[in-house]
Amino acid sequence: MIGAHTNVAALFCFFAFLLVTIGITVFASRKAQSASEFFNAGGQIGAGQNAFAMAGEFLSAAALLGMTGALALTGFDAILYSICVVASWPLILFGLAQPIKRLGTFTLTDVIAWRLSKRPVRIAVVIASIPIVLFYLITQLIAAGGLVNLIFGLPYFPAVVCVGAIMLCYVLFGGMRATTWVQIIKAVLLLAGATLLTALVLSRFHFSVIEMFRAVTSTYGVGTLAPRPSQGLARWDMISLALAMTVGALGMPQILTRFLTVGSPVEARRSALYCTGIVGVFHLMVLLLGFGCLALVGRQAIAAAGGAGNMAVPLLSQMLGGNAFFGYICAVSFSTTLAVVAGLTLSAATTFAHDIWAGVVRREHASNEARVAKIAATVVSIAAVLLAQVFEHQNVAFMVGLSYSIAASANFPVLALALFWRRLTTVGAVCGILAGAAVSVVLILLSPTVQIDVLHRSPEAFARLWWCFPMKNPALFSIPLSFVSAIVVSLLRPEPVANAGFDEMQRALGNLPPARATAGEGLDLSPTQAN
């Protein structure tokens, strides 16, 4: 193990980042008084800034630590994570950026429920969002716990508690503006660190990628650079993971609500375009770093460091750049987890305060949304810290796959139908959301991930349990089920108002010309409709 608790450079980088971001939070707290300022920074973030903030949300600990570790330990098969993540961005750019900005106010629920009855849809989305946010938060806290252990020598659980407390300060005092700037700083530091580390790796091989791959194959065989043939359940598990990672981003609330922080639909599209380039370049570097770790550090040393491969990049940085560069990479990795955790917590708090408190409990008498959001953020943080203890030894990239599965199953099908299918009804949307969320969570609980890795059943005992789910990722089953549930229920229970609202929504999106007033019109189908 790395004796990072004696590393002065790591401590310096860590506290420098902490002081800068705390200063930003103090500055932002002076403006984060209104609900609009707290939830979406008043829509005053520029396209370039928002692109880096979105990249900050997207490039989590799973990207830097989990994917490189998975590539080093399992070879080419792990590249599936990167390919699917990058492939999701054109879908967001061309399908969702502009509609979300035109229809949304504070949360993703505003878009889904625009032409439907608001209260039941809001309740369903919040119920589905709880496991999405918790799984993703757990992922980041696992990585953060390992990093703080490396930097300070703290035991895992106290390290996770400290990270949770720091993150909560950003959310409680700074709101969306502080969280956005923390994300921007983190994204710039992450890209700089990954670029320098990639250059150092390639310099060991005379800046020849082919030479690096030769070094990998000479030790681990040519099969490391090619997908392994998979049969039976393994093949279907890979397809299920690919599906979850590709469309899961289209249902992740903390990513999509970033489009609400800019001033116009054009700025939303532009920020998504910029972010696509940033994410694509970063994941090319992740590919090189993963195989660089394998060639230089070695699979045995990475496995011995623990964390299911999550410590591969810190090991590589210490080997190539010494303690100073190791300290920088650890601080950047820590800032990565801290920023994503803050964004997730704010997203969960906003969803609860705006969709449940203001939209369901108080309705037209809504007040104190920002205060309710802060209480919700505290509760979510405590729950995530406790659950992170249970999943301590899981690879963070794989844990992100589970979170994406739930988002892909609960939010994505109904969001797509709400935007593109006229006949979606309120009851159909609620059934689709709840069915997708419930089935994906239940199948994860019955899968080898929980039954074997968390509950420590033996593979033989697991095989004898007829009620268990044999695949690790449920998306292949839960996504179609969500679509089918929403469509069938909508066809069985038509809703004329929602049907008519589809044309009104298309006009709001600019896809249809404005309607001419007629004597019989009297429906109020605006976003402020309260059903």
Q: What is the CATH number of the domain that holds 434?
A: 1.20.1730.10
Least trusted range by pLDDT, from 185-199, 350-364, 509-523: 509-523
Question: What pLDDT was estimated at residue 393?
Answer: 65
Residue 47 has pLDDT above 90, yes or no: no
Q: Does some domain include residue 353?
A: yes
**Mean pLDDT, residues 29-52:** 70
Least trusted range by pLDDT, from 18-22, 210-214, 478-482, 490-494: 18-22
CA-closest candidate to residue 505, choices 447, 418, 381, 433: 418
Asked if 7 contacts 327 with a C-beta cutoff of 8 angstroms, the reply is yes
Structure-token match 């007033």, residue found: 517
Question: What pLDDT was estimated at residue 477?
Answer: 92
**Mean pLDDT, residues 342-361:** 72
pLDDT confidence tier of residue 528, bands split at 50, 70 and 90? very low
Question: What pLDDT was estimated at residue 203?
Answer: 92
**How many helices (H) and strands (E) are present in the chain, helices listed first?**
24, 0
**Mean pLDDT, residues 427-443:** 93
Distances (CA, A) of 362 to 331, 368, 376: 43, 10, 16
Q: Is 113 exposed, middle or buried (0-12, 13-18, 19+ CB in 10 A)?
A: buried
Q: Does some domain include residue 524?
A: no
Which tens digits make up the pLDDT trace of 64-97? 777 888 888 877 777 777 788 788 878 887 778 8
Which tens digits make up the pLDDT trace of 217-274? 888 888 777 776 665 667 788 888 888 888 888 888 777 778 878 878 888 888 888 9
Asked if 429 contacts 486 with a C-beta cutoff of 8 angstroms, the reply is yes
- The three-state secondary structure class of 123 is helix
Question: What pLDDT was estimated at residue 5?
Answer: 45
Geometric angle at alpha carbon 101, from 170 and 86, rounded to 5°: 75
pLDDT confidence tier of residue 519, bands split at 50, 70 and 90? very low
Residue 424 has pLDDT above 90, yes or no: yes
**Mean pLDDT, residues 290-317:** 81
Q: Does some domain include residue 527?
A: no
Q: Does some domain include residue 288?
A: yes
Residue 32 has pLDDT above 60, yes or no: no
Asked if 449 contacts 443 with a C-beta cutoff of 8 angstroms, the reply is no
Q: Does some domain include residue 488?
A: yes
First to last CA, the chain: 58
**Mean pLDDT, residues 449-475:** 82
Query: Residue 411: which domain range?
Result: 4-30+68-360+368-508
Residue 128 has pLDDT above 60, yes or no: yes
Q: Does some domain include residue 36?
A: no
Number of domains forming the structure of the chain: 1
Question: What pLDDT was estimated at residue 342?
Answer: 73
Which two three-digit tokens encode residue 150? Answer: 């490396």
Residue 427 has pLDDT above 90, yes or no: yes
Distance separating alpha carbons of residues 31 and 37, to the nearest angstrom: 7
Asked if 216 contacts 291 with a C-beta cutoff of 8 angstroms, the reply is yes
Which tens digits make up the pLDDT trace of 362-407? 655 556 666 777 788 788 888 888 888 777 666 565 667 778 888 8
Structure-token match 């593109």, residue found: 420
- Average pLDDT of the residues of the chain: 79
SS (H, E, C) 180-229: HHHHHHHHHHHHHHHHHHHHHHHHCCCCCHHHHHHHHHHHHCHHHHCCCC
Q: Does some domain include residue 203?
A: yes
pLDDT confidence tier of residue 123, bands split at 50, 70 and 90? confident
Question: What pLDDT was estimated at residue 39?
Answer: 64
**Mean pLDDT, residues 209-218:** 89
* CB proximity list for 144: less than 8 A, separation 6 or greater: 61, 159, 160, 163, 334, 337, 338, 341
Distances (CA, A) of 49 to 19, 54, 194, 248: 21, 9, 20, 24
Residue 34 has pLDDT above 80, yes or no: no
Structure-token match 């040519």, residue found: 222
Geometric angle at alpha carbon 287, from 407 and 335, rounded to 5°: 60
Distances (CA, A) of 306 to 60, 73, 74, 157, 298: 19, 12, 15, 16, 13
Q: Inter-axis angle of helices 118-152 and 369-390, to 10 degrees?
A: 50
Distance separating alpha carbons of residues 81 and 401, to the nearest angstrom: 8
Which tens digits make up the pLDDT trace of 352-361? 777 777 666 6
- The three-state secondary structure class of 2 is coil
**Stronger pLDDT, 167 or 205, i.e. the higher one:** 205
CA-closest candidate to residue 200, choices 218, 215, 186, 212: 212
How crowded is the C-beta side of 494, counted as CA atoms within 13 Å? 4
Question: What pLDDT was estimated at residue 125?
Answer: 85
Q: Does some domain include residue 144?
A: yes
pLDDT confidence tier of residue 524, bands split at 50, 70 and 90? very low
**Mean pLDDT, residues 158-166:** 81
Asked if 250 contacts 95 with a C-beta cutoff of 8 angstroms, the reply is yes
Question: What pLDDT was estimated at residue 428?
Answer: 94
| Number of residues in the chain | 531
Neighbour count for residue 162 (Cβ, 10 Å): 16
Distance separating alpha carbons of residues 144 and 403, to the nearest angstrom: 17
Which two three-digit tokens encode residue 441? Answer: 């969570």
Distances (CA, A) of 406 to 31, 100, 247, 444: 34, 20, 11, 9
pLDDT confidence tier of residue 1, bands split at 50, 70 and 90? very low
Neighbour count for residue 33 (Cβ, 10 Å): 11
Question: What pLDDT was estimated at residue 62?
Answer: 64
**Mean pLDDT, residues 315-322:** 86
Residues 61-75 as b/e (b if ≥16 CB within 10 A, e otherwise) read bbbbbbbbbbbbbbb
Q: Nearest 5°: phi and psi at 470?
A: -75, -20
Which tens digits make up the pLDDT trace of 269-301? 888 889 888 988 998 898 899 888 888 888 888
